[in-house]
Structure 1
Amino acid sequence: MDLGEDTDLSQPYTQSQQEGEPHLLGFITANIVGLRYYSGTVNGREMVALLREPLNPHDPNAIKVLNTRTIQVGHIERTVAAALSPLIDSELITVEAIVPNRRSKTNRFRLPCQIHIFAPLPSFPTVSQLISESGLHLITQNDASFTLSDSVAVKETRADSRFKNVDEIFRLVDESLTAKERVSHALEPPESIVRSKLMEHQKEGLWWLLNREKSEELPPFWEQGEGGEFVNVLTNYSTCVKPEPLRGGIFADAMGLGKTLTLLSLIALDKCGGDGKKKGKKRRKIESGESSATLVVCPPSVFSTWILQLEEHTVPGSLTTCMYYGDRRAKNAEELMDYDLVLTTYSTLSMEEDAADSPVKKVVWRRIILDEAHIIKNSNARQSKMVISLNAKSRWAVTGTPIQNGSLDLFSLMAFLHFEPFSIKSYWRSLVQRPLNQGLQSGLSRLQVLMAAISLRRTKDNGLLGLPPKTIETQYVELYSEERELYDRVKEEAMLLMRSFNNGTNNFPVVLSMLLRLRQICTDLALCPNDLAMTFRSTNLEDVSNNPQLLQKLVEMLQDGEDFECPICISPSADIVITRCAHIFCRVCILKSLQSSKSRCPLCRQALSESDLFSAPVESSKADSTASSSSSDKKLSSKASALIKFLKESREQNPAANSVVFSQFRKLLVLLEAPLKEAGFKTLRIDGSMTAKQRANVIDQFQGSKGDGPTILLASLRASGAGINLTAASTVYFMEPWWNPAVEEQAMDRIHRIGQKEAVKIVRLVAQDSIEEKILMLQEKKKELARETFRKRGSDSGGMSYKDLSFLMSME
């Protein structure tokens, strides 16, 4: 779990998160049944994936079994599933399975497997007792038969000539990649379609993209055996059918390097036959039933960017384009197949995830491009499931920040790319995530090999663009006495609640709210309610699920920031609700989910009805509408005073210089308007409450401002993080550090990008001796993982752990 902009604030706070990573407790032997009903096959010593199926009409405890190709093999027998499913659903254990070499040939309808059980160390006694009470025999390290585990055998007896050690397999793949030239050629797009000149790195990127789409090689980790069969050397799955090449990958160039133009050039090349020379009109529908159309999926803020890039860089009419968005959606698949380019949004596809007649589902796309692909980082979200399920010949995940919170972000990209076996969560967890979480060097090495195999990453640090320099400085601000007094009081309450976790109380949402309030105090006391301390103290450490009034208050608090993302649609919302089980969703998403999930919470599976949903009081949404008019009567906060001081100094040096002030709090942007006006500055504001058209108008005004026009843009990080150009500014101020460093980097790159003529100065305002200093340290941890992941041959928790929370609260 993470507590930032990308946070799933509604995830349950489990013992696993408190006490560290799960460890191998032992294994049980079980049978895979129902083989006759499914087409999936497995070989001896092959890993298989176990997937809970709570909505199975025949058995709510069902656990289905998938092979490496994600084809169902069968189900775990009912008695074992009945014992393990409650433990899996409560997140007390995770499970992995392998089919051993020793197989009975007398029963064609049952297949033995070993189910390895992982749990936090403090939970070992509880889990062992529960499994024993269910009648299952758990084989632990104290049993002599523990050495029969094929999981242990994989690590200890790989000297067997038939098998290689897992890290040896990764090393050989790495050597194979090193032997090949990655990007060694430059390719020009057809002038009949693309009228702009590509920079050298874009031409090389275009060659890499086209080369991967034309690949006929076996996917990484597949080999052809002596008998002609094809074997996945990681899972031991074999087949007589040659696996499809992995056509696509992660296009991870840093923001501002012109990825959109490079992708448009790829589409243009494809239309011209791949060599840029053929000028004839390519037929729309390929004989096999595939379409020649490219589907581009992007957030609404980037939708207009694609349209502008098409207008700026391509010959008018050369690429036929369809907007599949809002009321402009096509009614049938045949209509979509008649275009070169179909533009849509993640939210549009999310709404069609359950629609069997969705035209997008019926098309076999020439390629799918996910722009800002990190948006699908939660593989369980509706939009993620939708894009993963779509049919395409080539798949591209395009993002300058593929890792935002941790390495687990990459799993969804693997699932979208259909990169087997890493596209199955149990394999990803076993082969990559667990060694990373345990701080093993092998985990980072494996991640680096995977990225080298499927991604292209260039940064502006390489001097590819010749941009003016960018400097980043941190200015520490000392809180005023009244700010410090309230900060210390709230921090004391938060620490008390943190300790209450050990007593089993359900106060995690309260702690999240307190962390938010601590951050607000560091920025401006006006962001906090007058009864702040009483709000927290009134909980008396009770279970929040029994206090509807408190639940409503928590929703009101969480709406004050930009931290919230619905775990179903992975999008921010102005209309959020909290459930009695203390999980937070968009109102629309949870109501729809309750209709299709037998009235259970999608996260914890507890029974839930509409009467168990709580929202913030209506009056709270009006609180900041009058903030600007009354702000002149209030004393400026320590940070607001520092900001105005720096802006005045900058104006003295260059009166014409433009600045952008970023904050995650919309109310703060409103509060700053009056004091900035009094200081003689003309401002514009852009935030998430504005429509796309309103935001575009503000950006146009700011980019075109000259002479006596506005020189300061007050901008919400949410509304300004991606898809816009703010090169009119040369100075950037961050009013508070963000949980997720990638969001800050996205915001910086709105200014430091192609078209910037001036040196760019980034100023981060950080409250001294506060939680903000700790946030900077956690940021550095995430940035280091992102850097190391793409480094040519560490550890990461993938989220906010109890240890991280304790660190933030200075409890250790």
Structure 2
Amino acid sequence: MTKALEPLLKETPSIEIEAVGVTSALCEQIGRASKPEEALVQVNVNIYGPRERAAEIGGALSDQKHYLQRPDYFKAQFPYDNPHTLIFPDLEGQLVEEEVREEVSAAAKPRAEEDRLKTLVTEVHNSLSRAKELEIEIGDKRLKSDLLNHQQRALSYMLQRESGAIPEKYRLWQKGSHGGQELYIHRITKTRSQVRPEEMGGGVLADEMGMGKTFSTLALIVQTIEAGLEWAEQKRSEEHTSGKARRYSHATLIVVPSALLINTWLNEIELHIQDGLKTVKYHGQGREKDLSELEQADVVITTYNTLASEFSPRKAVLDRINWYRIVLDEAHIIRRPTTTFYRTCTDLEARSRWCLTGTPIQNRLEDIGALFAFLRAEPFHSLAQFRRFICIPFEQGDAKARDRLVLLYDALCLRRTKDILELPSHNERTRDLTMTDDERRQYDKTFKILLRYMGTGVSQYPGGAGHGHDHRSIKFGQFQAHLQLRILCNHGTFQKPFSWKKRDLKDERAAEREAFIGLGQGPEIMCDGCKQPRPILGSTNNSFVENCTHSFCLECLDDCADFPGMQNMKHCPLCHRFGNAPPDDQDDIVMQDGDDEDNTPDKDMVQENSLHKDYFNRTGFSTKMNALIRDVKEDVGTTKSIIFSCWTKTLNLISRQLTKEKIRHLRIDGDCLLSKRQNIIDKFARDGNARVLLMTTGTGAFGLNLTAANRIFLVEPQWNPSVENQAIARAIRLRQQKEVLVTRYYLRDTVEESMRSQQVKKRQVALFGFAREDGEVTVA
């Protein structure tokens, strides 16, 4: 290492070398050492320098067999650029850069690597044994509802992890000897300690979505309130003696992705817990900032965005309290260590830390490594250690990676699937439909128009072929062709003849995001409000009258709605703030569904007529719409239905058809503020006259509990089937009492048929190249 770094050390100030060590880890390792040679610690070495010298420095290090990896900590003001990152030229340029600054991976993983990761995760899950050996814990008498068997075992596991009373079989530190001396040796890293390290402080509850992780966590909170009070009092006493001024609270701090999830937790508390649990909602402009009030609460609920917004000031309100417990809901949100979400959450102090997520590993092994780092599960509180002992062996094909991951899972995670539950079954049916002659003529004519435009390199990028966008324009034109044909499959002859000028950019952006998800890249959008990356699901489609490229997460839009002139969210908050908004045009006002109790489908008609008169014909025919409405009308008086489409225009057309049939319905889409969504969901559940709920697919797949419905209609296929599955899973949950019927629609001899049969890898090729195996270019 010294030989590799020595030439660089001589080049100061051109090159800067920085050694980084975590203070707590240094102190602990030195404290354990009984002799000087044991007082050895690992540090990370970061290299800073001019970007133009990256390749040269990377080559010099490679010659000495040293390779750069993403650091756990580095100076945030400098962009990270690793010359040792592998680039696959054949895959470069395949991801479309959207105008709203979507941040996506620059190169797709090789399919073989994806398959290896899936195989590893499957093998690890099949090898776990701890869940089968957990005892039953009935739960505290203050629970109004009985815990199900698997929730009782979850409570038992969580109590073990918090108390440290862990069965020997599932401890990571085991007794051993070295040099005739009795020691404790870590089963993975082989680190030695003279004293037995404590194995307590939380873990990961990774049950599948819909198994009641929230209720299990609430049962833990209620059962340990007294223990929390004793801990906080003891800590205050110790602080008083030492003269320090740190605050301690017996409360559990719960961090959720959105205000909608705050309501979900509050509803669960009301449903399952008897009166007496003091809960504080730390969110919004008027949130409670009195430290004494927060300190005396039993539960404090906030959002990742709220934490991030207070990150800049030193010692923000929530950071000034040492909590008894921190719970991260949808914890995979912090899987990227470079985000403010990760840094703010890991900086918080607490006795116990919990991660709730149905997807601890999304795209790479480092995802769960980030959760272990948040848990401070030493020595894997360092992501570098996780990469060294888990990721690198996996990349090298070493079987030790699987065995080590099994040990970590059984020690720190509880993972079960819905197979252990007796949930109501769900049936699926497929409607294979054929276009009418009129629809086919319009489809074929649109297809020819699109091919002609692609041939001239026309796309939404200004200047087309003469402005440096040749390759990207053609590819994006192909994407647009596929998109327009998919939309036409829904609308039939209701839709006016295709024109590039009359496209709906809002719907196109939604489709682009859906396509990125289909590539399995886990893309995220950078919010221009909080400056945080947001997952595609649960993000708004941002179609402002300014026609700007700004993009905002739903929570930032929800906060902006409190300001004058922003109630309808037709204006971009940034443009509005700095006086760049155009004059109001009353014809363009978009009314929010759920704004008042008189939210009738007639309002949808007014909105559709004013906004889409240049898009839809007053009369027309759609085979798919006819089939959908016919299916919805079956048993409509005794069932409740959710209709999913990824396009708002399709929802507008469905709304018009339902209104004609006098079927009362509600609607939630990407423009619906978080503060309104729960009201609409509650209304759908309790209003006997509201038989149908219209939803955009991404909205329905994020943060909603929709057990009031027992019929699901998927109007069009998605690039990624998991998006559909997540939406469906919102209805198939523990409190669902009825069998769920899922209906899917496909049009024969169209792009939908090709989507149905393609595998993930072929979808990627079809999306950006429209190439068949024989190399011929095609769109259908």
TM band (smaller chain) = 0.5 to 0.7
1:616–1:181 CA distance, 2 compared to 1 (3 A): same
Cα RMSD after superposing both structures? 5.5
Deviation of 1:330 after TM superposition, in Å, equals 3.3
- Encode CA deviations 1:100-144: one digit per residue, 9 max, x unaligned: xxxxxxxxxxxxxxx994534669xxxxxxxxxxxxxxxxxxxxx
Q: Distance in 1 between matches of 2:665 and 2:626?
A: 17
1:587 shift after superposition: 9.7
Deviation at 1:307, TM superposition (A): 1.1
Asked if the contact 1:284–1:338 (Cα under 8 Å) also holds between the matched residues in 2, the reply is no
CA distance in 1, matches of 2:550, 2:494: 22
Aligned match for 1:212, one of 161, 179, 182: 161
Q: Please tell me whether the aligned partners of residues 404 and 740 of structure 1 are also in contact (alpha carbons under 8 angstroms).
A: no
Output the CA distance in 1 between the equivalents of 2:510 and 2:583.
Answer: 11
Q: Which residue of 1 aligns with 2:659?
A: 677
Distance 1:422 1:710, change over 3 A: same
Structure 1 residues 31 and 238, CA gap change in structure 2 (3 angstroms)? farther
Q: Is the 8 A contact 1:775 1:808 kept in 2?
A: no
- Does residue 247 (structure 1) correspond to residue 201 (structure 2)? The answer is yes
Counterpart in the other structure of 1:761: 741
Residue number in structure 2 paired with 1:325: 283
Amino acid at match of 2:446: L
CA contact (8 A) 1:350 1:382 kept: yes
In 2, the alpha carbon distance for the partners of 1:261 and 1:391 equals: 24
Q: Secondary structure at the match of 1:661?
A: strand
1:135-174 Cα offsets, whole Å, 9 max, x none, are: xxxxxxxxxxxxxxxxxxxxxxxxxxxxxxxx9xx99x98
Aligned partner letter, 2:607:
T
Equivalent residue letter for 1:254: E
Cα distance in 1, alignment partners of residues 582 and 171 from structure 2: 50
Aligned counterpart, 1:84: 54
Query: 1:623-772 alignment to 2 at 5 Å?
Result: 626-627=607-608, 633-648=618-633, 650-651=634-635, 655-706=637-688, 709-768=689-748, 772=752
Contact 2:172 2:186 in 1 (8 A): yes
2:150 equivalent in structure 1: 201
1:255 maps to a residue whose letter is: M
Question: Alpha-carbon deviations, 1:673-700, whole Å to 9, x = none?
Answer: 1112223422222223334453333323
Match of 1:313 among 272, 276, 281: 272
Query: Using the alignment, how far apart are the partners of 2:133 and 2:354 within structure 1?
Result: 17
| SS of alignment partner, residue 285 of structure 2 | helix
CA distance in 2 between counterparts of 1:763 and 1:347 reads 36
Check the 8 A contact 1:61/1:82 in 2, yes or no.
no
Q: Secondary structure at the match of 1:286?
A: helix
Alpha-carbon contact 2:428-2:742 (below 8 Å) kept: yes
Distance 1:199 1:488, change over 3 A: farther
2:430 is the counterpart of 1:474: yes
| Residue in structure 2 matched with residue 30 of structure 1 by the alignment | 5
Moved more, 440-449 or 337-346: 440-449
For structure 1, which segment, 399-408 or 258-267, has the greater mean C-alpha deviation from structure 2 after superposition? 399-408
Report the Cα distance in structure 2 between the residues aligned to 1:201 and 1:713, rounded to whole angstroms. 32
Q: Does 2:136 match 1:186?
A: yes
Letter of the 2:608 counterpart: A
Q: Which residue does 2:94 correspond to in 1?
A: none
Question: Distance between the aligned counterparts of 1:810 and 1:263, measured in 2?
Answer: 50
Query: Are residue 558 (structure 1) and residue 509 (structure 2) matched?
Result: yes
Q: Which runs of 5+ in 2 are unaligned?
A: 27-41, 70-81, 91-116, 239-245, 460-464, 515-523, 557-575, 591-603, 776-780
1:134-533 map, 5 Å:
183-191=133-141, 193-215=142-164, 226=178, 245=199, 247-273=201-227, 286-287=235-236, 290-298=248-256, 299-317=258-276, 319-331=277-289, 333-403=291-361, 409-419=367-377, 450-462=408-420, 464=421, 466-478=422-434, 480-481=439-440, 482-487=442-447, 490=450, 516-517=483-484, 519-524=486-491, 532-533=499-500
Tell whether the 8 Å contact from 1:261 to 1:313 is kept in structure 2 after alignment: yes
Aligned counterpart, 1:111 = none
Aligned residue for 1:330, secondary structure, equals coil
User: CA offset at residue 808 of structure 1?
Assistant: 6.7
Q: Hey, what's the Cα distance between the residues in 2 that align with 1:433 and 1:489?
A: 49
CA 589–699 in structure 1, closer or farther in 2 if over 3 Å, else same: closer
Are the aligned partners of 2:8 and 2:15 in contact in 1 as well (CA < 8 Å)? no
Q: Residues of 1 paired with 2:300 and 2:716: CA distance?
A: 38
1:235-259 deviation digits (Å, cap 9, x = unpaired): 6777888766363222122333222
Instruction: Give the Cα–Cα distance (whole angstroms) in 2 for the partners of residues 635 and 64 of structure 1.
Output: 68
Secondary structure of 1:670's counterpart equals helix
Residues 576, 586 of structure 1: 8 Å contact kept: no
Compared with structure 1, are the counterparts of its residues 745 and 252 closer, same or farther at alpha carbon in structure 2 (3 Å cutoff)?
farther
- Say if 1:724 and 1:70 are closer, same or farther in 2 by CA, change over 3 A: same
The C-alpha deviation readout for 1:755-799, integer Å capped at 9, x for no partner, is 333221111223445555566678x86xxxxxxxxxxxxxxx9xx
Say whether the 8 Å CA contact 1:27–1:117 is kept in structure 2: no
Give the conservation status (yes or no) of the 8 Å contact 2:540–2:552.
yes
> Structure 1 residues 532 and 566, CA, compared in 2 at 3 Å: closer, same or farther?
farther
Residues 620-646 of structure 1, C-alpha deviations (whole Å, 9 max, x = no match): 976897325755714243432221232
Normalised to the residue count of structure 1, the TM-score between the two structures is: 0.63
Corresponding residue SS for 2:253: strand
Give the letter for the 1:762 counterpart.
V
TM normalised by structure 2 equals 0.65
Which residues of structure 1 form unaligned runs of 5+?
Answer: 1-25, 35-57, 99-114, 124-166, 275-279, 537-552, 591-609, 782-796
Query: Using the alignment, how far apart are the partners of 1:724 and 1:616 within structure 2?
Result: 35
* 8 Å Cα contact 1:323-1:343 kept in structure 2: yes
Question: Residues 422 and 204 of structure 1: is their aligned pair in 2 closer, same or farther, counting only changes over 3 Å?
Answer: same
Instruction: Report the alpha carbon displacement of residue 324 of structure 1 after superposing the two structures with TM.
Output: 0.5
Q: Is the 8 A contact 1:182 1:208 kept in 2?
A: no
SS at match of 1:524: helix
Q: Which whole-Å CA distance do the structure 2 matches of 1:409 and 1:576 have between them?
A: 32
Stretch deviating more after TM superposition (63-72 or 297-306): 63-72
**Structure 2 CA distance for aligned equivalents of residues 321 and 328 of structure 1:** 16
Q: In structure 2, the residue corresponding to 1:202 is in which secondary structure?
A: helix
Judging changes above 3 Å, is the alpha-carbon distance between structure 1 residues 411 and 635 closer, same or farther for their aligned structure 2 residues?
farther
Q: Are 2:89 and 1:119 aligned?
A: no
Q: Is residue 476–residue 765 contact of structure 1 (8 Å, CA) maintained in 2?
A: yes
Distance 2:653 2:497 in 1: 17
CA contact (8 A) 1:509 1:554 kept: no
Q: Deviation per CA, 1:509-550, whole angstroms, max 9, x where unpaired?
A: 7776666545434433799996655799xxxxxxxxxxxxxx
Give distance in 1, aligned partners of 2:128 and 2:25: 30
- When the two structures are aligned, how many residues end up with a matched partner? 631
Q: Partner of 1:793 in structure 2?
A: none
Contact 2:478 2:768 in 1 (8 A): no
- Tell whether the 8 Å contact from 2:145 to 2:272 is kept in structure 1 after alignment: yes
| Contact persistence 2:202–2:353 (CA under 8 A) | yes
Letter in 2 for 1:386: T
Shift of 1:316: 0.9
Measure, in 2, the Cα distance between the counterparts of 1:720 and 1:662. Answer: 8
